[in-house]
Structure 1
Amino acid sequence: MANLNLTVVFLLLSSLGIIKLTSCNEDNQTNVNVKCIHTEREALLSFKRGLTDPSGRLSSWIGEDCCQWRGVECNNQSGHVTKLHLQNPYRYPYPYEFYYIYPIIEYQKSCLRGEISSSLTHLKYLNYLDLSSNDFEGIQVPEFFGNLKNLRYLNVSLANFSGEIPPHLGNLSSLIHLDLHYNNDMHATNLGWLSSLSSLKYLDLGEFNLSRAGADWLHAVNMLPSLLELHLSGCELESLPPSLPFINSTSLFVLDLSENQFNSSILQWLLNLTSLTKLDLSSNSFQGSIPYDFVNLRNLEHLDLSSNQITGVITEAQLMNLTSLEYFRLTTDKNQSLVFNVTYNWVPPFRLKYLQLDKCLIGPKFPIWLQVQSELIYLILTNAGISDAIPEEWVSKVSELTTLDLSYNQIIGKLSHRFIFPNVSFIDLSYNRFNGPIPLSFANVAQLFLKGNFFSGPIPSNISDLMPKLNILDLSENLLSGTIPLSIMKLNDLQGLFLRSNQLSGELPHHGIESQRLLVVDISYNNLSGKIPSSMGFLSSLYVLVLSNNNLHGEIPSSLQNCSLESIDLGGNHLSGNLPLWIQSDISIIRLRSNLFSGIIPRQWCNLQFLHILDLAQNNIFGGIPHCLDNLTALVYGNSSRMFSDQIGYIEKAIIVTKGRELEYDKTLKFVTIIDLSGNNLTGGIPDELTSLRGLGTLNLSMNHLTGNIPKNIGNLRWLETLDLSKNSLFGPIPESMSSLTSLAHLNLSFNNLSGRIPHGNQLQTLNDASIYKGNPSLCGSLLPTKCPGDETSDGPTFTSGSIEDKQDGDDTERLWFYVCIGLGFVVGFWSVCGTLLVDVQEVEASGADSLKGNLETFADVWD
């Protein structure tokens, strides 16, 4: 019986346990399936209604349970909304990335826009809000954000906010992470509110205008005892105090003050932040030498001092304690003003993964301290004064290297098959003294720059098999010969092909073109012959084509209209035929000079709104200059280029005839605005519409058969630096408005039939070369043998205008009377002396001729 009772009790207890266990499981299941709070759901819907969402990122915001909506997180226990993850899935494309890697179109389509509803304040338990990489079109960061008292994470970076940051954010006493960087014209006049954020560990105000905050920014930041990371890059800060008596942020790990305007030496108190693992002072104007006290930063892993004005000597002592250093950048503005003075056999205590030194003298030998860096992933040593050969044993050590840039040195030798970098994707050995054949051992390289060396021989015929991943190949300015191999056009990923200034011959590849991603081709200054193949029209992405200074002939193939050309340079060949009608509307540069083109300038070209360089000089073009050229928008407003060259780091070069000579432009080519139609057979007059091109810098219409007057409004071309109208049949006066060309540096009006007075004033006063007007027999003026009626006989210049005209008139009158008085004095003196002598001669005739001769000589001596 007792056993039965025990059994019953056990079963009862067990059943209670089972019930309790079941109850607990049910409770847990209920918590897992808890739904969001109704008022918070309505708050989110109200927030959604204020936004535009072109990509439908908020399309899941329907139904009763907002906890299941995309970007929304709730507390599993209470159902309260705690997190909003609404950052753009496409990262904000910085300006230099607009056309490269991160397409601007996809980013823009995914941006949330509109107003941010204050209904978010109903989310009382919200602790995480991320609105980064959207586009709020210049609105201010809402003040009510300061009412979200439970926020611990706030990120509104890269979201196109503007205006002053609301000090109400100082109410967020629980905030740990605050990121406001890279917004449009955000600023602050006072950062005192920061001192209330005592829990803040991460602060990023990058690209934030703090110039109006004065020294207040440093005081406010120094009041944050928990701060671990501080990013103030590009904040227009100008000064740092020479000392800081008390440093509160002693636990700071990361300090980024890059891209500001500091111009002092590197300050001592910065080097007292001994907890730092990352210090970025790049892109400022820090001066002087690197302090010895860098030895205090024993925990430093990342040090960036690039793009400053640091000079002097770096010794082993300054680097001896940096045992954790992995990332080191040091570049200066002045070539080799910073010298590494370490013993040749010195072995540093660190093992670097990233090293960039530019304009720092570490040569002439390839140093031992560099040879022992076997863990390098990224190495840039440019302008380093190295004139040694690359040690082969070092090449075998750096097996993890992915980026190698040794450009602008004097490194010698051949690159044999033993130079194998198995993981390198980027190699730049430009402007050294390497010789021999093109190296073939870079199987994984994507970007290969070997320009400006002495490489010789042919381009390998199987280059597409040896380096199949190439997307940029630059072999310019070498001694390469032979033909362009067909396999080079089989590189599927090729975007840039640069073979400029070699000795290549033969024809361009006619078939087998598979490089559909090709953007830029520059094979200028070679010995290529034959025609431009129509198969180049298959390069639908091609936007720059430079084939100048070869021996190409035939017509421009119409298939090129299938490309995306924005710049075409075919100058210095033997091409012929009419100018193409199909030129793309996006084109910025047309350079076809020194060919055999004929026909007229197509009126269709007047619609090229981005055109800023039109060079058709030295051809056989006839007809008149189109009157519709005033439709060339870029030349009217001077907004010349969209700088397409940045897409793959390519900077186009071109020889431009301006200011009376040939000049080579590269980085500034985008600012050149020119129309050069010289050396053709153009007839008719100069259209008045040309004077609407106020952004034009060079206008050359010389060596044609133009007639008529120079347009009277020529002075409207206010930015004109070069004007050449020589060797035409122009007649009539030189317009007075030409004196308004205040930028004019080169003028040639010679060999026309111009007449009348040469205008004076402003810039024309400095152009005092008579050859400007040579060959115009009916012109007159102070610079010419023919003086105008009423001009002074003196050789000095005649001033006809200016703010001091009255004073000059008075000075001229005084000068005139001065010379009159001198003249009268001379006459009176002359006859007084001569009269006396003549009387003496008559009265003392007996004294003879010798006496008279002596007196006359004495007279001559006096006047000499």
Structure 2
Amino acid sequence: MDLKLKLRPNFFFSFLIFIFLFQKPDLGSASGPKCISTERQALLTFKQSLTDPSGRLSSWSGLDCCKWRGVGCDRRTSHVIKIDLRNPNQTLRPYDHWEVYDMGGLGGKINPSLTRLKFLSYLDLSSNDFNFTAIPDFIGQMVSLRYLNLSSSTFLGEVPGSLGNLSKLEILDLYAQTFSSDGPNSYTLYTLEATNLGWLSGLSSSLTYLNMGYVSMRRVGETWLEEFSKLTKLKELHLFNCELNKLPLSLPSSANLKHLEVLDLSRNPLSSPIPNWLYDLTNLRKLYLQEDNLEGLSPSGFKKLKLLNTLDLSNNGFSGELPVVFGDLSQLKYLDLSFNSFQGQVHKFLDALSNNKGNSLVSLHLYSNNLNGTLPESLGALRNLQILDLSENSFTGSIPSLVGNMASLKELYLSRNSMKGKIPQSVGKLQRLETLHLSFNMFSGAIPQSLGAISTLETLALSYNNLEGRIPTNLKFKDPYIYFGNELLCGKPLPKKCPRKQETVIVN
């Protein structure tokens, strides 16, 4: 069959235009570079001002900067919107892995070429080493920033007030604890200082997260809280170890912290009772007030904090009986009251925790108080508890047999009390137990052979008791420390010839 296709002239014209557009290389085709040339040059200038001992900026070459390590671009416009150059080794502890941590850090200076990235909304330079230079004032010109992280990067001097120009900023992390290259045990405190917090008002309508830990504010005076309370959208405020010297007992009428969910004022010489305004922060999930030289606790105030998940009041001067009101906080998972002067028995306190059916407590620390008496059987009702530390008190009596019902328990510390009696066989029911510390008591009798059934046990401390017998033959340690008497019979790692089957425990 002979088919003849008759096409109109305008069809051929449209077809030619289509071919032309398809072949033209610089109209956004998939094969062409996505990076904008002026922004690529700004990044290369920024790179030239940096030192890079690990070579992690080696990918910063070629035309497409959107493919460079740590650079992110908008898929639609190709503008650079993200720079993430955090130290990739920042999760390592510098004390233990100094060389690796240090090698991952960038150094040198931050070049003002970054201000040419007009659409940059995310900048993370955390855990690098800028060798005690000042935070550049020009960062305040990067007005598109929503996320800025300069934490632990050895900056020095005054926090620039120009940061107040970043009116879109939602997250600001200036945590200033830094580690010196002099060695793994060297670190510098208070390299950053804030003497005037007036710039915070420029962030009042946007900032939701602020971390200024280790930034010295000793010269700010008593107005510090008033300045922070201007951040009306703030959800997290971290002022750990900032040399704040007073905790105001009242808030100004203009203060607005109703959205605050996390408040950390730890390690500041606040020297006051807990003020009533703090109990009005009813959205609080986490409250950290450890080591603040606080005294004077109003237990009834905590009833308002119904959403509280974490409460740390350790290392203060609180006294009296343990507040039973904490048993009413059904969301509470982590409670630390260590290193205070709480006294008396714990029956009412533990009963209140165990009687709350909604209680989800995971961690309870009462270490180093003046608590006494025996431990109640109601302890066994805390089935969600993973860590229990009652060390260094004056508890007497034996371990409750119902402790075996604490099915989630991973760590149990009862050392340095005056407890006695036999260690109950029910301890062997704790199938998740990793650490058991019973040293410096008056426990007697044989070591329970049921301990051998706990396959997760890593640390067993029984020194300075009146125990006798043999080490359970079926103990299977992952990373063992076994303390009997005042000797370490099995070390770390476990020696091949560690005596297990016939070794008699030293009786003190």
Question: Which of the five TM-score ranges fits, normalised by the shorter chain?
Answer: 0.7 to 0.9
Q: Report whether the alignment pairs 1:52 with 2:78.
A: no
**Residues 259 and 242 (structure 1 numbering): CA distance in 2 closer, same or farther, change over 3 Å?**
same
**1:255 aligned partner, one-letter code:** L
Q: Deviations over 1:716-745 (max 9, x none)?
A: xxxxxxxxxxxxxxxxxxxxxxxxxxxxxx
**Alpha-carbon separation, structure 2, partners of 1:269 and 1:130:** 35
**Alpha-carbon separation, structure 2, partners of 1:350 and 1:253:** 20
Cα deviation for residue 399 of structure 1 reads 2.3
Match of 2:400 in 1: 391
Match of 2:202 in 1: 196
The RMSD of aligned alpha carbons is 3.1
1:403 corresponds, among 400, 405, 411, to: 411
2:330 corresponds, among 319, 323, 328, to: 323
Match of 1:828 in 2: none
Q: Report whether the alignment pairs 1:296 with 2:314.
A: no
Q: Secondary structure at the match of 1:468?
A: coil
Which residues of structure 1 form unaligned runs of 5+?
1-7, 495-508, 515-525, 528-864
**Residues 224 and 368 (structure 1 numbering): CA distance in 2 closer, same or farther, change over 3 Å?**
farther
Match of 1:309 in 2: 317
Pairing 1:695-710 to 2, within 5 Å after superposition: none
Cα deviation for residue 319 of structure 1 reads 2.9
Pairing 1:497-516 to 2, within 5 Å after superposition: 512=496
**Alpha-carbon separation, structure 1, partners of 2:385 and 2:221:** 41
Q: Deviations over 1:178-220 (max 9, x none)?
A: 0011335111100110111020000000111111111232111
**1:212 aligned partner, one-letter code:** R
Cα deviation for residue 27 of structure 1 reads 12
Aligned partners of 1:344 and 1:368 also within 8 Å: no
Match of 1:226 in 2: 233
1:428 corresponds, among 434, 437, 448, to: 437
Q: Deviations over 1:395-427 (max 9, x none)?
A: 2x3222222212222232333554222222222
Cα deviation for residue 455 of structure 1 reads 2.3
Match of 2:95 in 1: 98
1:472 corresponds, among 471, 481, 489, to: 481
Of the two, which has the highest radius of gyration? Answer: 1
Cα deviation for residue 468 of structure 1 reads 2.8
Aligned partners of 1:284 and 1:308 also within 8 Å: yes
Aligned partners of 1:149 and 1:174 also within 8 Å: yes
Match of 1:767 in 2: none
Q: Report whether the alignment pairs 1:452 with 2:464.
A: yes
**Alpha-carbon separation, structure 1, partners of 2:378 and 2:210:** 37
Match of 2:74 in 1: 75
Match of 1:789 in 2: none
Q: Secondary structure at the match of 2:250?
A: coil
Match of 1:41 in 2: 40
Aligned partners of 2:148 and 2:172 also within 8 Å: yes
**Residues 426 and 173 (structure 1 numbering): CA distance in 2 closer, same or farther, change over 3 Å?**
same
**Alpha-carbon separation, structure 2, partners of 1:454 and 1:168:** 66
Match of 1:153 in 2: 147
**Which structure exhibits the higher relative contact order, with contacts defined as CA atoms closer than 8 Å and separated by 6 or more residues?**
2
Pairing 1:611-622 to 2, within 5 Å after superposition: none
Q: Secondary structure at the match of 1:292?
A: helix
Cα deviation for residue 108 of structure 1 reads 0.9
Report the more deviating stretch, 407-416 or 250-259: 407-416
**2:466 aligned partner, one-letter code:** F
Q: Deviations over 1:523-562 (max 9, x none)?
A: xxx99xxxxxxxxxxxxxxxxxxxxxxxxxxxxxxxxxxx
Which residues of structure 2 form unaligned runs of 5+?
1-6, 178-187, 499-505
Pairing 1:131-170 to 2, within 5 Å after superposition: 131-170=125-164
**Alpha-carbon separation, structure 1, partners of 2:163 and 2:303:** 38
**Residues 196 and 474 (structure 1 numbering): CA distance in 2 closer, same or farther, change over 3 Å?**
same
**1:115 aligned partner, one-letter code:** K
Higher helix share: 1
**Residues 126 and 343 (structure 1 numbering): CA distance in 2 closer, same or farther, change over 3 Å?**
closer
Q: Deviations over 1:247-299 (max 9, x none)?
A: 31111001010111111111111111111111111111101234321111111
Cα deviation for residue 64 of structure 1 reads 1.0
1:239 corresponds, among 243, 246, 251, to: 246
Q: Secondary structure at the match of 1:150?
A: coil
Match of 2:181 in 1: none
Aligned partners of 2:26 and 2:32 also within 8 Å: no
Aligned partners of 1:315 and 1:341 also within 8 Å: no
Cα deviation for residue 46 of structure 1 reads 1.2
Aligned partners of 2:376 and 2:400 also within 8 Å: no
Cα deviation for residue 58 of structure 1 reads 0.9
Aligned partners of 2:402 and 2:426 also within 8 Å: no
Aligned length: 464
**Residues 50 and 344 (structure 1 numbering): CA distance in 2 closer, same or farther, change over 3 Å?**
closer
Cα deviation for residue 106 of structure 1 reads 0.7
Q: Deviations over 1:99-141 (max 9, x none)?
A: 3xxx111101111111111111111111001111111111111
**Residues 361 and 230 (structure 1 numbering): CA distance in 2 closer, same or farther, change over 3 Å?**
same
1:351 corresponds, among 355, 360, 367, to: 360
TM-score (norm 2): 0.83
2:114 corresponds, among 99, 107, 120, to: 120
**Alpha-carbon separation, structure 2, partners of 1:382 and 1:29:** 68
**Alpha-carbon separation, structure 2, partners of 1:33 and 1:437:** 78
% identical equivalent positions: 39
Match of 1:267 in 2: 275
**2:34 aligned partner, one-letter code:** K
Match of 1:130 in 2: 124
Aligned partners of 1:92 and 1:158 also within 8 Å: no
**Residues 290 and 470 (structure 1 numbering): CA distance in 2 closer, same or farther, change over 3 Å?**
farther
**Residues 158 and 339 (structure 1 numbering): CA distance in 2 closer, same or farther, change over 3 Å?**
farther
**Alpha-carbon separation, structure 2, partners of 1:37 and 1:27:** 12
Aligned partners of 1:146 and 1:170 also within 8 Å: yes
**Alpha-carbon separation, structure 1, partners of 2:268 and 2:319:** 19
Aligned partners of 1:311 and 1:338 also within 8 Å: no
Match of 2:214 in 1: 207
**2:173 aligned partner, one-letter code:** D
**Residues 170 and 415 (structure 1 numbering): CA distance in 2 closer, same or farther, change over 3 Å?**
same
**2:95 aligned partner, one-letter code:** F
**Alpha-carbon separation, structure 2, partners of 1:35 and 1:293:** 57
**Alpha-carbon separation, structure 2, partners of 1:33 and 1:457:** 78
Q: Deviations over 1:356-375 (max 9, x none)?
A: 11234554222355332110
Pairing 1:476-491 to 2, within 5 Å after superposition: 476-477=485-486, 488=490
**Alpha-carbon separation, structure 1, partners of 2:31 and 2:370:** 64
Aligned partners of 2:446 and 2:468 also within 8 Å: yes
Cα deviation for residue 33 of structure 1 reads 6.8
**Alpha-carbon separation, structure 1, partners of 2:27 and 2:419:** 71
Match of 1:652 in 2: none
**Residues 261 and 386 (structure 1 numbering): CA distance in 2 closer, same or farther, change over 3 Å?**
same
**2:39 aligned partner, one-letter code:** E
Q: Secondary structure at the match of 2:163?
A: helix
**Residues 293 and 438 (structure 1 numbering): CA distance in 2 closer, same or farther, change over 3 Å?**
same
**Alpha-carbon separation, structure 2, partners of 1:358 and 1:268:** 27
Pairing 1:247-262 to 2, within 5 Å after superposition: 247-262=255-270
Q: Report whether the alignment pairs 1:287 with 2:286.
A: no
Match of 2:388 in 1: 379
**1:426 aligned partner, one-letter code:** T
Cα deviation for residue 340 of structure 1 reads 4.5
